Structure 1
Amino acid sequence: MRPLGAPGHAVVPDSVVPCAPVGDVSVQEQIDRLHDMPPDLLLKDLEQAFRPPAAHWRAAADRSDRWLPAHWRLAADRPDRWLRGYAGALADVWAVAEPLWSRARPLLDREVARVGVASVRGGADALLGSLAGRLVRDENGLVIEGVAAGVHELGDRSLVLVPMLAGKDALIVGLDDPEAVWIAYPVPAAGRLWRTDTDDLSELVGPVRAELLRTLDRPMTMTALAGGMNIPPSSLTFHCDRLVAARLIARERRGREVWIDRTPRAGALLELCLR
């Protein structure tokens, strides 16, 4: 992975970045594409991305070890092996990240709605300037920090915004696709998906009651909930009493069992704490 994340280098060959997000292409399809990619295509893209213009070839002695950045040389020496390793690494990452991606669905849906509303109501300029700290909207267009110097005209191409699960400073842009310019930016509040120390819900209601509310993704009996959370029934009753008083859960006796469920008020609170 080093060639793609070497500090101080922003350019990556087109063939090893995700497909331009102008259609529905699955992660597995993109991994398969890397597995099947001819090594010569990677070498061609490296040349296109990094080789100096023809007028400068003589000065560079036309040798790849002069114009190819050091962090890409290993990939260029063994392109077939590197592509297989890269595809395998992506498959391993996706195996771990897919559940997180599924958990992020409410965040992603909310961001799609936010972008749609801003576009319809004429707030696209303000929206573009708020996507990430490395994007600045001014009178001349969109200034992207960290991208190689140059001016890129949008022309008739579409501008595609791609919310992604990443740290707050992450940014990926595709400027050369003939159909669209795309900008991948961190979806707001993504960091809360992988926080394990504390969270807003725990700070509001306490860690035990926060876990209780998250566990109640469906109605459960008090017995099942106590066993699932591994706490004594007396302690569970105490916490449930407090959550009933706050109108965050409802209790109902059915025969010999007491069933509890989250209220709509609790659902709204959980959604708010994921923002």
Structure 2
Amino acid sequence: MRLRPSPEVSVAVSPQVSVLSLLVDAVAARRRGLPERWRRRIRESVGAEGQQACRPLGVPGHSVAPDTIVPLPPVADASVESQIAWLLDMRPDALLDDMEQAYGPERVPEHWRWAAERPRRWLNGYASAVSDVWSAIRPLWERAQPLLDLEVERVGTAVVRGALDALLGTLSERIRFADGSLYMSDQEPARYDLGRRRLVLVPMLSGPDATILNLDLPGYVWIAYPLRRADALWLGADPARRAAEELASMLGPARAGLLASLARPTTMGQLATLAGTVPSAITYHCDRLEAAGLICRERRGREVWILRTRRGHEIIDLFSR
């Protein structure tokens, strides 16, 4: 998806999108990295009608689905309960209209045929599945609130500081930002242009490989991605320990360590001592960090001092939130 320079970006928190991701992973069996014990727990929480309704979401080779799977968009700040009520109140022919919008006026794909022939039954079954999964994961969602708050702050800070390119590169391994475009892994790829629309980022409680996109709306597009450090919640560990590992995964362990150690200006000799090596051994890494705009070098008398640039501070800040 092509982005215009300095696009309007916001962040939204939607428990329904997280519920959808977990339904797809655990119930529809499109695995996205959810720990097995949680996959089993979520799958076993969903009744037979709910499991039937979720089957179309896991069919291999297909990713396009009716918008009804998230009946109230993430920007609406709607509760899961209001999403369920909407599904139960929805007219069956509205679901059929939604399918026509998603797939065109021709016959719906085979894997959605059952739902098209029994729209009321599908809506009731899907609402039941959403309710069952929400009951199973609501305590975990509540424990995730501090991480969600940090992610909202991280996105806001990146937007204000003009570090959107760095932010977009950290959303997911399935999302890449380069040359003004977002590249997102999808089973049914297509080209899009953000145009004047707003980009809404939606962190979700999910497996690490999950992404959910809606790029067709007129006023905005939304992209849901795994909440940073949520794996610690699934596994019951401390999420803060992930920060250094995530920075190292982007820069490499050596350069990440050097950048992290530059909280204040440091000479090459001091930096080498901190790294446990000699100055000549870190010159290459400093060259690469400088080329990326993360550090700069200043000669002061006989010594060369290394300083983090503003961009370098922003990168550290993004990964420490």
TM over 0.5: yes
The answer (yes or no) to whether the contact 1:15–1:41 under 8 Å persists in 2 is: no
Aligned residue in 1 for 2:122: 82
Aligned residue in 2 for 1:6: 59
Cα deviation, 1:137-159, whole Å, max 9, x if unaligned, reads 11141111106333222122111
TM-score normalised by L of structure 1 = 0.64
| Greater relative contact order (CA < 8 Å, ≥ 6 in sequence) | 2
Rg larger for: 1
TM-score normalised by L of structure 2 = 0.55
Aligned residue in 2 for 1:152: 192
Give me the CA root mean square deviation.
2.0
Query: Which of 96, 110, 114 is residue 150 of structure 2 equivalent to?
Result: 110
Aligned residue in 1 for 2:211: 171
1:177 maps to amino acid: L
Q: Map residues 9-28 of structure 1 onto 2, 5 A cutoff.
A: 9-28=62-81
Residue 185 of structure 1: CA displacement? 0.5
Aligned residue in 2 for 1:43: 96
> For residues 109 and 200 of structure 1, do their structure 2 counterparts lie closer, same or farther at Cα, with a shift above 3 Å needed?
closer
Residue 165 of structure 1: CA displacement? 0.1
1:34 maps to amino acid: L
The answer (yes or no) to whether the contact 2:203–2:224 under 8 Å persists in 1 is: yes
Q: What SS does structure 2 have at the residue aligned with 1:194?
A: helix
1:143 maps to amino acid: Y
Aligned residue in 2 for 1:69: 109
Cα deviation, 1:141-189, whole Å, max 9, x if unaligned, reads 1111106333222122111111100011000111122221111100011
1:173 maps to amino acid: L
Aligned residue in 1 for 2:87: 34
Q: Which runs of 5+ in 1 are unaligned?
A: 53-61, 204-274
Q: Which runs of 5+ in 2 are unaligned?
A: 1-53, 242-320
Q: What SS does structure 1 have at the residue aligned with 2:196?
A: coil
Show structure 1 runs of 4+ deviating over 6 A.
none
1:148 maps to amino acid: E
> After alignment, is 167-176 or 152-161 more displaced?
152-161
Query: Percent of pairs identical after alignment?
Result: 55
The answer (yes or no) to whether the contact 1:172–1:184 under 8 Å persists in 2 is: yes
Residue 87 of structure 1: CA displacement? 0.4
Aligned partners of 1:113, 1:88: CA distance in 2, in Å?
34
Query: Which of 222, 228, 237 is residue 188 of structure 1 equivalent to?
Result: 228
How many residues in Structure 1 have an aligned counterpart in Structure 2? 188
Aligned partners of 2:73, 2:196: CA distance in 1, in Å?
16
